[in-house]
Structure 1
Amino acid sequence: MQGVADTLREFWAHRPVRPRAGRKLGGVATGIALRYQIDPVIVRIAFVALALSGGVGLPMYLAGWLLLPEEGDQASPLESLLNRGHSSTSQGQTVLLGVLMFPALAFTFGSGGFQVFVTIAASVACIYLLQKNRGHLQPATTLADPPPTPPVPGAPAWDPLGAAPFAWDLPEPTPKPQPPAPRPRKPRVSGVTLGVALLVGAAAAIAGTWIPWFTAPHVVGLVIAVLAAGLLVGAFTGGGRGLIWLLVPLSVVGFGLTSVKFEGPANVGDLNFTPRSVGEVESRYELGVGSLVLDLRELPDSGAVKTQVESNLGEVLVHVPANADVTFRCEADSIGELDCLGKRADGTGVQVDGTDLGADGEGGLKIDLDVLTSVGEVRVLRD
């Protein structure tokens, strides 16, 4: 632990400097990349991945903005606010960054749970490994030099050339011609990584036919892991940047597969159901992708029915009779728009419920309706 603490203290003493050129926002990712001589794109992708992992990336980026000095400054914005050196970042901007930390931390720790602590621990471990293995490299950007030391009054000044004026015009030695340096061979990181990713993806797909719980998100996740490993190796060897064009869309697909719950049979397309008797009403209607219309207006005026409608992605429309007593629950667990018998809601994880007795009051056909969608629109209308 003492060695870990020493390494982290060394990281702070020689921390990255945010450059003025080549940065996208505050220069945090670019400064880290220049300090440890790795590809800046790798660091930016890491911050995006951390932002998607419980929101950890946002407060970490703000912390870097506050604690890492800018190129040419003597101190970081936060240190300058505490009168520990000069920073080109204004005090107003520093205060604003500090204020933004509060909602960022509240969102991160309020929604992430134990995953947040694991992600923070992994991030600290990565910083430790970077400093341990690449801390000896010279940073590409530096802090402002301290002001020069004024000469001591009364000290004698000595000019070495003044002591030997004849040496002023001595000819410079002619350098020997050097043979051209051989062009370094570019590592074939992209090709090797793509080959390994194809093999892993094929093996995972075959394994999915034998293991019931091994689904498409697992296959995509393994391929993303291989591509990310290749990109990380390429950051230190100087290759593999072409993998980004495949890794980014796959990451979007993987995020969608893991955030949206796709369960049940894959009923795709436009589905229409119009039961005409209580016995014809199914206990459950399912939609994979598309639209589903359930028309209950042909049912008799008496009796009781209970049904559930589930949709992964698409539109659900339920028509109920004018005089039926309807108890309803409508929910969008990922993101959606709800309009159920006059009660409306939209956004992520929204729900509305209630009981509507119709124009004639209590009595007549009773309907117990439960509508759930992952992503899409739900409407329950009385015609």
Structure 2
Amino acid sequence: MQGVADTLREFWAHRPVRPRAGRKLGGVATGIAMRYQIDPVIVRIAFVALALSGGVGVPMYLAGWLLLPEEGDQVSPLEALLNKGHSSMSQARTVLLGLLMFPAVAFPFNDGGFQVFATLAASIACIYLLQKNRGHLQPATTLADPPPVAPVPGAPAWDPLGAAPFAWDLPEPAPRPQPPAPRPRKPRVAATTLGVATMVLAGSVIAGIWAPWFTAPHIIGLLVAVLAAGLLAGSFVDAGRGLIWLLVPLSVVGFGLTTVGFDGPNDFGDLKSTPKTVAEVKDRYEISVGSVMLDLRELPDSGSVKTALEADLGELVVHVPKNADVTFNCEASSIGELNCLGKQADGSTVQVGGTDLGENGEGGLKIDLDVLTNVGEVKVLRD
């Protein structure tokens, strides 16, 4: 594995350069061919085959366009966007290519799973083999050299003391005062992470248009992943702590979106019901976010009722008469706290149930309860 890592690092250090001449689009295929001295037609056919094999070739080509520098430039377009050097590609065009990456990546993962990962693994293996076997070849195109240092205006082109330096008796120059050492600047982890997160957000919105399965929870999940990666990187250089204030609420929102189903504005709030007859008891009392309180203590002492209470996020409370025969099932499918006729449980995916005949034993009103919540508190009380 160490050899593989060294080879990949060598590939990045001497990566292909996109030439200005002889290219068809962005010069990615031509740059790879010239770097490893193979026929450009072979590389172009490979990209076309990858594009037809689940669409993987499109995001790979766009990635090469963003990460491989152009001939005569100092860095790649993406590095130039992060102020790492100069690139001839404009920042607007770089951002546009970055946004196009999101639908290009979403499309293949929407249509296939194992095939996509297998194709990506095979592509990385081919890059590794190229670098391993032909990485020693000299690249045909190179990056731009750093700009030369300009001469100081007004300085003579010849040294008047160079003819006979021994003829001069000059005092030793006093040592020049050294400027104070600049304070080291912390890496701008937070700013860079927020910039990447903004691109992810914009690109994800575009991807959602092309791939309907790419919904809000997916977008928030990507943003949480980007912020978490920035926070992890910042922990090594003592920077980026401000990302916590954005990461925590996003994580809470993401958790809520993955556990709560929102069907409309009427599913929020508090729902209270106190039926006085068996016929008034509904089959189901349901809410998305809020609380449901069902009071059955005013029902008659005979007959039978069956009802269910359900909430995605909130509190469910049922009051039953003292002498009723109650069969109950209480459940929290994600996280919750249960207190149902003396049976208690709390934690993740908990459930209690049974039959309670009340103070007078069997006989009287019969109640069948099913009380379910995703996240919240469930109570069935006899008082």
Q: Which has the larger radius of gyration?
A: 2
Same fold (TM over 0.5): no
Q: TM-score under structure 2 normalisation?
A: 0.44
